[in-house]
Amino acid sequence: MWTQAILLVVLVCLLGLHFLNPFQARKKYPPGPPVHLVAVKFIQARFRIHPDMFAETAKEYGNIYTVWVGSTPVVILSGFHAMKEGLIKHSEVFSGRPVTPFYQAIVNEKGIVFSNGHTWKQQRKFGIATMQKLGMGKESVQSQIEDEARQLMETFARTKGQPTDPSLPIFNSLCNVICALVFGHRYSVDDEEFLKLLDAMEYNMKFGGTFFHLMYEVLPGLMKHIRWPYKAVFNAVDVVLSHAMKETEAHRAQLAVHDPRDFIDYYLLQMEKSKNDPTSTYDDANLFQCISDLFTGGTDTTSATLQWALLLMVTHPDIQEKVQKELEDAFGSSQNISYQDRKKVPYTFAVIHEIQRFKCILLTGNPRLCMQDVTILGAFIPKGTMVVPDVHSVIYDPEIWETPRMFNPNHFLDQDGKFVNREEFLIFGAGARACPGKAMAMMELFTFFTTLLRAFTFKLPEGVTEVSSEPVKGLTISPGPYKLCAIPCFSDS
């Protein structure tokens, strides 16, 4: 009863806000579904964004259409052609990030993900260069990733084939990879501070796309005064930033000027180098936010992908067996595998790509901001418009993939069984704001996946014949809770 009343009030507010915009102003955007239908879809999806919410809309309005969220126009790019035209051919035009009221309140346009203009350019360039110096795509990060994959393997070995929920150990391990990169050390899984950090990050990610998040975006003036639904999320943001602050102070106290060890060391040195440069954006606030960005961008994403990977191996034992055979044929059971070896195992590499396509962890493509008036594929998009690439319209497009709704590694193999890179594989975004962590993510997924599949065969627990592959949605889509048994392939695993 109360829920219905609240939903009705919200619906009326959304419609009211929409019609405050004069008709002429609304007419300049590409056409799209009427606002009341959009509001009804949101309500049907219980005020969460649903990836397939607008699946049919492009058929009616074309590949570039506008969805009105209250008074805010959001232009959707649907299909590969529109996304390529926008994100790649007009890369600079769509290089902005819209800073919505909620993210303005928690991020304040600092760091990389939610900054713009000079700050974004400087922080992103520094972030990429530093990740490369720290060996992203090279050996040092590779060996940290291998260490974490081995630790995860040992955690599974300790379960002795008994049913276990893999989500927490996976999340811990992938978080520790970022800890090594940013802080220069890993944490024990019993460390209270580490557990607090993990909880806070998980809470932040799960809050994205929820009812109260969307309410803050749509009615910020009102929601700023209703504090209770936001207390926990603001606390969680504080936990991550305070941790970054504490680590930074410890690094400052023993700064390794000649031998920077990690991201924080490099950043502090850069702050020192540019202290007399009036255009410098290197400061504590940007450093803390960059750290938070690397954690949020680099843990939930890889962790959700690896959770899907094991779930898909459990539900597709034939594919699991084929991967294990390929690994055994290429490397035997003892030789170490590194990311450079991926070309020797094209089937396994194709399976990893297909996992990411088939169980796409993104709710939508990350929103962009249009930096100038532009016309693409005949559609005019005014400067300042929020633009969302509908990545699901590409990765499930039947014109592109042979069996889009089936888990089929052949999507990434040619007739001779060689791995094929597909330009439609857009899950890391594209253009000026494409994911700077792609190389590291692929290295992590390859190393963890091959290490685990060489050591174990993953099975459903005895008596369980089915496992739900219904996703849990937050800002990233991860599988709902499930248990599996890690059966050692060799008796000493």
Residue burial 130-140, b: 16+ Cβ < 10 Å; e: rest: bbeebebeeee
Report the residue from 32, 166, 346, 436 that binds ligand HEM according to the rule CB under 6 A. Answer: 436
Distance between CA atoms of residues 299 and 179, nearest Å:
10
Distance between CA atoms of residues 244 and 183, nearest Å:
9
- Nearer to ligand HEM by Cβ, of 283 and 329: the residue is 283
- Nearer to ligand HEM by Cβ, of 248 and 356: the residue is 356
What are the angstrom distances between the C-alpha of 23 and each of 29, 71, 161, 383, 439?
Answer: 11, 12, 64, 18, 46
Q: Is 427 in the site for ligand HEM (CB under 6 A)?
A: yes
Distance between CA atoms of residues 401 and 183, nearest Å:
41
Residue burial 384-413, b: 16+ Cβ < 10 Å; e: rest: ebbbbbbbbbbbbeeebbeebeebbbbbbb
Positions 60 through 99 that interact with ligand HEM (CB under 6 A): 97
Considering the complex, what minimum distance in angstroms separates the CB of residue 41 from ligand HEM? 23
Distance between CA atoms of residues 200 and 204, nearest Å:
6
- Nearer to ligand HEM by Cβ, of 198 and 223: the residue is 198
Q: What's the one-letter identity of residue 450?
A: T
Structure tokens at 191: 């460390």
Positions 102 through 141 that interact with ligand HEM (CB under 6 A): 112-113, 124
What are the angstrom distances between the C-alpha of 215 and each of 57, 102, 247, 472?
Answer: 24, 9, 34, 20
* Pattern 356-385, ligand HEM, x by CB under 6 A: -----xx--xx-------------------
- Nearer to ligand HEM by Cβ, of 70 and 431: the residue is 431
Report the residue from 18, 353, 433, 454 that binds ligand HEM according to the rule CB under 6 A. Answer: 433
Counted residue by residue, the chain has a size of: 493
- Span near ligand HEM by CB under 6 A; candidates 196-204, 242-250, 260-268, 429-437: 429-437
Positions 273 through 302 that interact with ligand HEM (CB under 6 A): 293-294, 297-298, 301-302
Q: Report how many residues bind ligand HEM under the rule CB under 6 A.
A: 25
Considering the complex, what minimum distance in angstroms separates the CB of residue 459 from ligand HEM? 25
Q: Is 435 in the site for ligand HEM (CB under 6 A)?
A: yes
- Nearer to ligand HEM by Cβ, of 240 and 440: the residue is 440
What are the angstrom distances between the C-alpha of 244 and each of 102, 183, 238, 396?
Answer: 21, 9, 10, 39
Considering the complex, what minimum distance in angstroms separates the CB of residue 389 from ligand HEM? 7
**Residues 450, 327 contacting (CB under 8 angstroms):** yes
What is the CA 325 to chain-centroid distance, rounded?
A: 31
- Nearer to ligand HEM by Cβ, of 215 and 444: the residue is 444
Binding site for ligand HEM (CB under 6 A): 97, 112-113, 124, 293-294, 297-298, 301-302, 305, 361-362, 365-366, 427-429, 433-437, 440-441
